[in-house]
Structure 1
Amino acid sequence: MFSLATIIELIKTGFGFFQKKQESKDELEAQNSHEQNEITLEETRKGFTWRQMLGYVLTFIVFYNYVVIPIFALMGLVLPAIPLDEVWKVLIILIGGGS
């Protein structure tokens, strides 16, 4: 019914389809990365952005927990600590380590 050449041709076509699909996926990821870089560059040109403000706020929270609270504790004043689990997650994503 099917000849060996037909089966081989079908296999080649199938592999070609998956290779093209992988290439298009890689191209899409590269395009998205390029677009994100363009957005970041545009925000940088504008000056102070919400990302920078968020970075400063999160950095202050970490500073408060690790520096301010212990200094005031030495003076006898107990301040409440802010849970850092979510702060670390957002800070890492903001820096670009999370995907």
Structure 2
Amino acid sequence: MRKTTQTTIAAVLGMAGFLLASGAYAAPQASSAIERLEGRVKTLDDLATATQGDLEELAAVAWENRNAIEAEVTRSIEASKSEWLRAYSAIRQALAKPKTQTGGGQ
């Protein structure tokens, strides 16, 4: 149960932090709401008792910036996909190189 609680808190605060970092939360009121929540939320009970105003403020800004949020998430996914494809291609090339035989003649 403790691990689930920590994961839930981390997910909620992590999403808020991601949105702030992505630039979607340019509005000062949202930034301050996130900071207030991060300062107060240490347990699941804290999360449950967070002021409704803070949560509503975050939800409103997220809704207003939903297109920017979606664009940032898409950009992040595409960047990761490109990195994986480059790595995969490099691995395939390395595996496709003919192995040279050393020594041995007849």
Q: Which bracket does the TM-score occupy, shorter chain normalised?
A: 0.3 to 0.5
Q: Which has the larger radius of gyration?
A: 1
Higher relative contact order (CA 8 A, sep 6+): 2
TM-score, with length taken from structure 1: 0.37
TM-score, with length taken from structure 2: 0.35
